[in-house]
Chains A and B, each alone.
Chain A
């Protein structure tokens, strides 16, 4: 794809011409840079390492900060995997994250496409209004959401958990930015070829913004997979718990079973890790093209 090609990193002519050039010695500035990057890497990885480490510990050892368990065990994994609730929560998370992702991809890209490619009075105002919702934190929204769900009878339903995430302002912004890169000529050519506007969006515009769709899919899927506050509030039925909510219920008020929570968290990380490994190049491409932080 031409768009994708544009951001492919090309080897410099110097590298091409002088492949046998000896590496320059590590200088001071470079050393500092590497050291800072290493430190940053360690800070990022430490929570994950602690999660794995805690999941391999017995409960009595949980509050020791040692990384290597004194008596490593897989008992927590056996317990969590044999607990039927885990699979229910896993499935709930999967259904909710998948459906919200599909919905977001469709509606965010539709809105982004219209705001980008159709000229109508007030479109800039609409875009600003959508963007301004990004400034409202979730914590402020959960009470109106709850009241609305209560009145509409959406509490303790999949729909109730999913509805706030079915469209996102961030996704609209991201998709609008990407649709800017699609030349109008493509759409006009399709218009002349007899496609209607919905067909043009689906058959011409959407395939040209695949990297953005992949990046948005990952952002939204991960966001919904790890969502905690709203799913916790929207449901009291344990059969409808999502994985993060379910995991937090391990233990009771007196004692939190951190080793089980960490075990569940470790297992629940696997699907997201797989998704990330498959689509990571799209994430990088998406972030580069949208000029955003991931």
Chain B
């Protein structure tokens, strides 16, 4: 196990900079998740850590050592790929053993290690099967097993759950988290799924267009997003972003409703963020009123899409007596749950 540090990491393809000065410190044993939309540079960063992509400038340090010029095999890392990358012509045993090909262990030690890893992953009875005789989840376990068997300093996961169905993804998510608790390795995990990021990470790195938008714990990025991108990317359904303007005592929404959020942004164009679960359907009064255009019952709650003066706002209503499409409803909120962003830059205002 080891620390991982990225210092001013830059990647350029044909003079186009795709990754801009990435800085990150991952502590020993930490589970860090890179999340962002397609093309944001998260996989490129991971591949640079692995040594599969050349670093244009900056450094990658593993265990305090700069590894920019080391071959992937010499970096003491293991990687689990999106498509599992388990060899179809080898049995599970040989696939797992493949990671030990260059190890100096004796044959008996290797066998013992394979059995140990298979035991941890619950794959002992499948050791002599070929990958085409396994389910998607079992194949993913083999891929993880091949990474685990080498006991690397850093585990790298490149969207490993993307090919699994929703149920299996949830199950594997839990298993990887348990595995991390058990082996305590440093893990860097890449995903485009913010739910995966929220549920698994010690810290989340949110990326967009080759820039890190925010680094923080799941609670931090959810409750204190650094900008409107993070605010909308983290959380499902997304945070509502409303137009407003700063006043002496707080903000005025585009509807004219005044909210006492406190002074500090007088006269400024603002974007006010509010999460759907922080908007409550009320009988009367409320800050916003509108007509329900769509109601999505989810069982425990119902998501209502409300047209407020031409803007669609999502709110969470009770699952038992939800409003229905066409209802005129009022929405109330607690100003303490509001997020205020600068409308021009999108950055959060303190």
Q: How far is the CB of B83 from chain A (nearest CB, A)?
A: 5
- Complex formed: what's the CA distance from A190 to B77 in Å? 12
Contact of B50 among A3, A186, A192, A210 (CB under 8 A): A192
Given contacts A192-B50, A193-B101, contact A1 B83 (CB under 8 A): no
CB within 8 Å of B: which A1-47 residues:
1-3, 5
Contact B101 A194 (CB under 8 A): yes
Tally of chain B residues near chain A (CB < 8 A): 25
Tell me if A204 and B78 are in contact (CB < 8 A). no
Task: Across the interface, name the chain A residue whose C-beta is closest to B100.
Answer: A193
Decide: B102 and A208 in contact? CB cutoff 8 A. Answer: no
Residue in A closest to B132 when the chains form the complex, CB atoms? A2
A1 with B99, Cβ < 8 A, contacts A185-B81, A192-B79 known: no
Instruction: Name the CB-closest residue of A to B75.
Output: A192
Q: Are A207 and B72 in contact (CB under 8 A)?
A: no
Q: In the assembly, what is the distance between CA of A195 and CA of B103, in Å?
A: 11
Residues of A within 8 A of B82 (CB): 185
Q: Are B132 and A195 in contact (CB under 8 A)?
A: no
**Given the complex, which residues of B lie within 8 Å of A195, measured CB to CB?**
73, 101-102
Main secondary structure of the interface of A (DSSP, over half): helix
Q: CB distance A1 to B89 under 8 Å? A: yes
A188 CB within 8 Å of chain B: yes
Decide if A72 is an interface residue (CB 8 Å cutoff).
Answer: no
Give the contacts of B39-57 with A (CB-CB under 8 A). 50-52
CB-CB under 8 A from A186, the residues of chain B are: 85, 87
Interface string of B150-183 (1 = CB under 8 A from A): 1000000000000000000000000000000000
A208 touches B89 (CB 8 A): yes
Determine if A188 and B131 form an interchain contact, defined as CB atoms under 8 angstroms apart: no
Measured as residues with beta carbon below 8 angstroms from the partner, the interface class of chain A is 10 to 19
| Identity of the chain A residue whose Cβ is nearest the Cβ of B102 in the assembled complex | A194
Contact of A183 among B50, B85, B99 (CB under 8 A): B85
In the complex, which of the residues B85, B88, B98, B146 has the most CB atoms of chain A within 10 Å of its own CB atom?
B85
| Given A2-B131, A189-B79: A194 and B87 interface contact (C-beta under 8 Å) | no
Instruction: For residue A100, give the distance in angstroms from its CB to the closest CB of chain B.
Output: 26
- Does any Cβ of B come within 8 Å of A191's Cβ? yes
Q: Roughly how many angstroms separate A2 CA and B51 CA in the complex, as a whole number?
A: 28
Binary CB contact string for chain B from 86 to 116 against chain A (1 if under 8 A, 0 otherwise): 0111000000001101100000000000000
Q: Is A208 within 8 A of B88, CB to CB?
A: yes
Is B83's CB under 8 angstroms from A193's CB?
no
Establish whether residues B81 and A188, one from each chain, have CB atoms under 8 Å apart when the complex forms.
yes
Q: Across the two chains, which residue of chain A brings its CB closest to B131? A: A2
Q: B102: which of A1, A188, A193 is its contact (CB, 8 Å)? A: A193
Interface flags for A202-215 (1: CB within 8 Å of B; 0: not) read 00100110100000
List the 10 closest pairs (A to B, CB-CB), nearest first. A194-B102, A194-B73, A189-B85, A185-B85, A185-B81, A207-B89, A192-B72, A2-B88, A1-B88, A185-B83
Q: List 22 A-B contacts (CB under 8 A).
A: A2-B131, A183-B83, A183-B85, A185-B81, A185-B82, A185-B84, A185-B85, A188-B50, A188-B72, A188-B79, A188-B81, A188-B85, A189-B81, A191-B71, A193-B98, A193-B99, A193-B101, A195-B73, A207-B87, A207-B89, A208-B87, A208-B88
